[in-house]
Structure 1
Amino acid sequence: MRFLPHVTVATIVEHQSRFLMVEEKRDGRIVLNQPAGHLEANETLLQAATRETLEETGWHVELQTVIGIYLFQAANGETYQRVCFSAKPTSHDADRPLDEGIIRARWMSLDEIVDNSAQLRSYLVADCIRDHLNKPHYSLDLIR
């Protein structure tokens, strides 16, 4: 059987020391995540990251850097390869309907995220924020 990991993207949007987070329903509970989702056919990783951010939060963003590439095995046995980007917000479409399952987008401080760590969708949420804050970032040219 062929190994076929899911390709996903996530975007860390930081503004005035707050992070754009998504509250979503997942497996009967409410979890916190960055704007994130799956790569779709015929789109680039950069397009996927900006699209997912807009669909889940109503925020238009400008991607800035690549934070990292992560491999994650979920509890259900599925494997995900996540490419995480940093971005700056450029405008907000407050009237835009959000994706199904998204409760709301909210700006949270690092302390608020840490205080709600039990609510994070996976450990990758915190890992990406820590890497954004503490590790080198890479040019978007890394993505070919």
Structure 2
Amino acid sequence: MTWTPHATVATLVERDGKLLLVEERSHGKTVFNQPAGHIEQGESIQEAAIRETLEETGWRVKLTGFIGLYTYTAPQNGVCYYRFCFAAEALEKESDKLDKDIIAAHWLSMDEIRALEDKLRSPLVLKC
């Protein structure tokens, strides 16, 4: 069997002391996550982070820094994810049309995010 890690991006968008998270459907459950997703062919990791944030939240952002690279192996399928995390500044709300699996985008404080720990899509939400 060939080991193939999945390369993904996530964006931490901060405004007025709150972070932008998405409420989404994943594996039949409602979970919370940073705007995140897979890198498309021919796309840089920065382009992917900006695109995923817009598609999942409707917010246009400017990346302000690279936070780090994190790994996670999903227990339900054994897939290993490499997640490139970026900090970003919210520029403008461009659209209310969100990806099909996204229920809503929320601005949440760290205390509110910690209170949702059992509903976070993965432990990476609190790490990155």
Say whether the fold is shared (TM-score over 0.5).
yes
Report the TM-score, using the length of structure 2 for normalisation.
0.96
| Whole-angstrom distance in 1 between the partners of 2:113 and 2:37 | 20
Residue identity matched to 1:30: T
Distance in 1 (CA, whole Å) between partners of 2:38 and 2:58 is: 17
Q: Which residue of 2 aligns with 1:11?
A: 11
Counterpart of 1:88?
A: 89
CA-CA distance at 1:84 after TM superposition: 0.2
> Does 1:51 pair with 2:23?
no
Q: Secondary structure, in 3 states, of the residue corresponding to 1:41?
A: coil
Identity %, equivalent residues = 50
- List structure 1 segments (4+ residues) > 2 angstroms apart after TM superposition: none
1:41-80 equivalences under 5 Å are 41-75=41-75, 76-80=77-81
1:28-70 Cα shifts (integer Å, max 9, x gaps): 1110000000000010000000000000000000001110101
Aligned residue for 1:43, secondary structure, equals: coil
Cα RMSD of the aligned pairs, angstroms, is 0.8
The aligned amino acid for 2:54 is: L
Q: How far has the Cα of 1:27 moved from its partner?
A: 1.1
Amino acid at match of 2:88: A
Partner in structure 1 of residue 30 of structure 2: 30
Note the alpha carbon deviations across 1:2-25, whole angstroms, 9 max, x for none.
321000000000111000000000
- Distance in 1, matches of 2:4 and 2:27, equals 23
Distance 2:71 2:18 in 1: 26
TM norm structure 1: 0.86
CA distance in 1, matches of 2:3, 2:29: 29
| Structure 2 CA distance for aligned equivalents of residues 109 and 81 of structure 1 | 25
SS across alignment from 1:121? coil
C-alpha distance in structure 1 between counterparts of 2:82 and 2:115, whole Å: 27
- The 5 A counterparts of 1:109-120 are 109-120=109-120
Where do 5+ consecutive residues of structure 2 fail to align? none
Kindly tell me the number of residue pairs found equivalent between the two proteins.
127
Aligned match of 1:132: none
Output the amino acid matched with 2:28: G
Higher strand share: 2
Match of 1:142 in 2: none
